[in-house]
Structures are given as C-alpha cells and as structure tokens.
Structure 1
C-alpha cells in the first residue's frame, strides 16, 4: 500500500512538470540558435521563378547557333553539288581592248609633240649644194637646218619649239646618240618665210629668209636643262619660242648654232632626240 502511494505521488508530480513543446517555443528557440538559417521557416518562401531576360538570351543563342551550323553545312555541300558544264550565254564579256573607246578624245589632248614633215640642211660654204629632206641633222657655223610642220585646225592655241634630248642611259639603250662641241645652251630658233612649194629640198641660195628670232633653246636632257638654266615648274609656258597656233597652217623655222657643232639622226621613235614642236594648250 505504501508503494502504491509513492507511485501515485510520482505520477502527479511528473504530470505537473512536463507539458508538450508548443510551436511558438520552437520558433523562439530556432531564431536564437546558430542553425536557424539552415531550417525552413514559415516566413521564408524560396523564389524558384526564372528570369525572363535570361531565358530569352538563352533561346536566342541557341537559335543562332543552329542557324550558323546549318549555313556552314550548306556551304560545305554546295561545291559538291555543282557538276557538269554550264551555259555562259548572257554573261558579261570582258573588254579585250580597254580604253580604245576614248581614242577620239585622247588624240586632241595636250601636251602633244609633233614630228616635222621636212628636215633639210643648207651649207653656207657650198651655197649651190642642194640637200634633200632627211633625218641627218648637222649644225655648225656654216650649217643650218630648216624644219617644217603642217598643222591642222585644233582647239589648242599655244605651241612652242624646243629640243628633246634623252639621258645618256636612255639614249644608249635606244641607240640614239649625238656628237657635239662648244656650248649647246644658245641654239637659235628663227621664224622664216614659208616656200610656196613643199620644202623637200633646199640650198643655201634658195633657203627661206629669216623673219625674226623666236628665241634660243638648250640641247640638253630636261633634268640638266632645268639645273643649268635654273628653270622652275611651268617653264614650258614661258618658252621664248612660244607662238599662237590652232588654225590650219604651215610653220617653217631655221635652227642655227654659233660657236658650236651638233650632229645626230632625228628619227620618229621613242625616246625623242630631236627639235620638235609642242602643243601645250
């Protein structure tokens, strides 16, 4: 009986000291503990919603990658599918002669060099000696050369007479050389009367008469000419032998040399070694 009494007493004591753990007590304890952040809470709702911009970028990249692969594959198999002969009828044909369509325009462009139609020598020491037109040019105290040009009508109205001499290297390469003595910087260019007949042959006694000294020229390569005479750009437009042209006409001149001697062959070829007329504008 005594034991029953102690059992009932202990049971009543246990019931008054123990009560079930309530939810608010659990929350209070988790918030105060270090592991609270590891456990879900009714106030923490994780967001699993995807970012729309990120989704759009991903799909765009995927589509572009597929298109790139498809294009690369198409380019790879296209050459293999081309076989057999193809008809080229109707394709644009290349021009085999480019520039010829402008030949009519280019032929009247300035500057332009004109080769004389007559080159005749006369000799004062042999006044009756008749010389015919040819390529051999001799200038000395006794020898003069007469040149003649037959000009057509042109829109360019300025011309001049000058010497044209290649450099030593260019002359040797073209087999064009000359012999000379004395100074060649003051070769005289004279305007003369024009014979009634074509100037095919002349003697000293039948030569055209001088009208006026047009000026002097230097028989030198252009680089040496500019250096020795201290010429500047555009010196051609100030040539002392410059005259008006543009109309149909016959131009006759005499080339003379005092205190010098010059001999060469004037041929119609490049590079020029000659006394020629230039049309400049």
Structure 2
C-alpha cells in the first residue's frame, strides 16, 4: 500500500503483435462481410429493377399493339357496307301482289223474299232471315277485278263471348251446316223483287256452315264456297230449307255476316 500523498504508478497494458494482427484480421473480415452483403443486395436490386423494367416495356408494347389493332379495326369497320335496318322493305308492294292478299267486300244489297208472302216487296236492310220459307239475296260490287282474280263466299260467326262484348246475337237451329249458295247472275235491280219475281237459280256455288265452333286443335269448320271467277257484280241467293237462322248483318266488329273474299 503506498504512503498517502505519493503518486501511484499504474503500468499501461501493451498489445503484442499477435493481438494486433488478430484485431486487424477481425476488422478486415467484418468489413469484407459487409461489402459482400452490400454487393449481393445491389445485385438483387439490379435484377428486380431489370425485371420491372422489362415487364413495363412488355405492357407498354402490348398496349401500343392493342391501340394499333383497335385503330385498324375502326378503319376496317368504316370500310364495311352499312346494313339496311329495314331489309326488303321496298319489296312489300311486290310481295303483296305476288301473295294475292285477300280483300273483303261488304254486300251492297241484303234482301229477303218470303214464300208465305209471295207478292210482298222487301227492302234491302241488315236483317237476315233463313228458314224453309225465307231466303236471302246478296249482291256485292267488286271494283275493277283483275282477269285472274278469284272470289269465294264465307259465313263469319264469332264466338258467343265475342258477341256479348259487342252486344250482338243470333238465332240458329236445325242443320246449320247445310246452307246453300246459289249463283243467279242477275243484272237488273234487286229492289222491288218478290218471291214470285225473284231471279232464277243458275247453279249451286257451294254450301256453308254457320257455326262458331272449332274442330280438334282449332281446325276451321266453316269452309267457304269453292272459289270462282270474280266479276264486277256478284249476285247470289242463300237458302237453308233445313235450318232457322236470324241475325243483323252490320258493318262493325266483330263481324257477323256472309261476306265476299277476293284473291288477287
């Protein structure tokens, strides 16, 4: 223990050469490790940047190509012929002529004659009466029919539900499928004729079925008369000796009538 007040000498520690060399090696090893780590980081960063740049270039190239294709498509579409929104609209007139659409004619004369009152003159009107003693004369005027046009006569009978809506009705009994349509081809005036002066029957045009019923699967049971050559004036007598039919033939829907159809 040194005396109080005296300085104490503490010898400094010294490093030998081996210690110095070991420290230097450790320092160099640490520096080399950090350098290698930084170098790999730089390499990976360069690789990532290169991949991103390559991907961006590919996307840009694809986008430019798509724009070019779209421009080409627009130019190609512009060169395509424009479609007509109404194809064949200009041929409707020719189609109507070639198809010979039916044309409806309403009678100008509806006249009854009665065997029980052989000298009575009935006037033309809308009342239709058919039975064993009453028959009806119909006359249609067809405007300028072509030489090749044909006509037929039919009975038009709506369903009872349709008639109720329009406040129409009819009476029908007996064999309503045995109506006879006779050609009379009478050039004179029908007004003022009686049972005794009625036109002579020339030939039977056909038979009609006065019914609103349908057959299986909606099949039509009201066959018209066979077609015949249309003339400017068509006059017929309709009779039904085995049935009784009464109705008003008016020019309104639904049609309850005997009418003339023209083809061509």
Shared fold by TM > 0.5?
Answer: yes
| 2:195 counterpart residue number | 204
| Offset, 1:163 | 0.8
* Match of residue 215, structure 2, among 227, 249, 263: 227
Calculate the TM-score normalised by the size of structure 1.
0.62
Q: 1:134 to 1:43 in 2, by over 3 A?
A: closer
What are the residue-to-residue correspondences of 1:115-126 with 2, within 5 Å?
115-126=106-117
Whether the aligned pair in 2 keeps the contact of 1:165 and 1:272 (CA below 8 Å) is yes
SS at match of 2:204: strand
| 1:244 counterpart residue number | 229
What are the residue-to-residue correspondences of 1:82-97 with 2, within 5 Å?
none
Whether the aligned pair in 1 keeps the contact of 2:155 and 2:224 (CA below 8 Å) is no
| Offset, 1:129 | 1.5
| Offset, 1:18 | 3.5
* Match of residue 112, structure 1, among 103, 115, 131: 103
| 1:270 counterpart residue number | 253
* Match of residue 141, structure 1, among 119, 126, 132: 132
SS at match of 2:107: coil
Whether the aligned pair in 2 keeps the contact of 1:162 and 1:241 (CA below 8 Å) is no
- What's the RMSD between the two structures over aligned residues? 3.7
Whether the aligned pair in 2 keeps the contact of 1:121 and 1:146 (CA below 8 Å) is yes
User: 2:243 and 2:112 mapped to 1: Cα distance?
Assistant: 16
Q: 1:30 to 1:176 in 2, by over 3 A?
A: same
What are the residue-to-residue correspondences of 1:20-99 with 2, within 5 Å?
20-21=21-22, 39-41=34-36, 43-44=39-40, 46=42, 47=45, 49=49, 51-52=52-53, 53-54=55-56
User: 1:259 and 1:143 mapped to 2: Cα distance?
Assistant: 11
* Match of residue 166, structure 2, among 174, 192, 199: 174
Q: 1:142 to 1:269 in 2, by over 3 A?
A: same
1:194 matched to 2:186 = yes
Q: 1:227 to 1:26 in 2, by over 3 A?
A: same
| 108-117 vs 163-172, greater mean Cα deviation | 108-117
Unaligned runs of 5+ in 2: 1-10, 61-91
Q: 1:215 to 1:231 in 2, by over 3 A?
A: farther
Unaligned runs of 5+ in 1: 1-6, 59-101
Q: 1:191 to 1:24 in 2, by over 3 A?
A: farther
Deviations 1:101-149 (CA, angstroms, capped at 9, x unpaired): x9xx99x973232110101111122221211211111111111100001
Q: How many aligned residue pairs are there? A: 210
1:17 matched to 2:2 = no
Q: 1:30 to 1:139 in 2, by over 3 A?
A: same
| Offset, 1:275 | 0.8
SS at match of 2:202: strand
* Match of residue 121, structure 2, among 126, 130, 142: 130
| Offset, 1:17 | 3.2
